[in-house]
Amino acid sequence: MPTFQAAEQTTHRYNDRMPRTEMFAEAFATLRNILQRHGRQLKVVVDKPGDFQLASPTKVDRIGRPLFVAAVQIKKNYVSFHLMGVYGDPGLLKKMSPTLRKRMQGKACFNFTTIDPAHVNELGVLTKKGIERFKKIKLPWS
């Protein structure tokens, strides 16, 4: 009869990978940096741990609040990157790589647990173009 040895126990929760909170914090910091770099002319409306949001300094929504432009937020299972310029101009998505497209949820949201350096560069370009296009948007209520 064959003998079986017990598997060696490990104290690492995610098979020697970085814990989720650290992975998410790293992805959040990277994505926040993209927004800060390309959104200098925008208004920071939320800046707290796990939540960074930018709005237009000149455009307002229907009830007078600064119009939401972009955000990065830590959620329960992923880090979300919202970019409304993509929603306003879907043509920006035509040249997006298939791997980044897989990260999309909805029309203007990308979800990450970790972030690939190629995605950082691609999101940087997309964010710059999205913010430029967002500035030119015509709102029906203004």
What pLDDT, on the 0 to 100 scale, is given for residue 115? 92
Judge whether 25 lies within some domain.
yes
Q: Is 44 left (phi over 0), alpha (psi -120 to 50) or beta?
A: beta
114-130 pLDDT tens trace: 999 999 999 999 999 99
C-alpha distances in Å from residue 61, one per residue of 11, 65, 105, 123: 50, 5, 23, 25
| CB contact at 8 A, 132 and 125 | no
Q: Mean pLDDT over residues 86-96, rounded?
A: 90
In a domain? residue 99: yes
- What is the model's pLDDT at position 13? 38
> Domain with 127 in it: what CATH number?
3.90.1150
Measured distance CA(123)–CA(96) in Å, rounded: 9
Kindly state whether residue 11 falls inside one of the protein's structural domains: no
Q: Does 103 map to a domain?
A: yes
The CA distance from 53 to 72, in Å, is 7
Please write the tens of the pLDDT for every residue from 54-83.
999 999 999 999 999 999 999 999 999 999
Residue 112 covered by a domain: yes
Residue 9: inside a domain: no
Q: What is the model's pLDDT at position 51?
A: 97
Question: How big is the CA angle at 28 (ends 63 and 107), to the nearest 5 degrees?
Answer: 50
Q: Summarize the confidence of residues 102-123 as an average pLDDT.
A: 95
Give a yes or no: residue 142 inside a domain: no
Q: Is 6 contained in some domain?
A: no
pLDDT at 27: 96
Number of domains in the chain: 1
Give 1-55 pLDDT, tens digit per residue: 444 444 343 333 333 455 778 899 999 999 999 999 998 999 999 999 999 999 9
Expressed as residue numbers, the domain containing 73 is 20-135
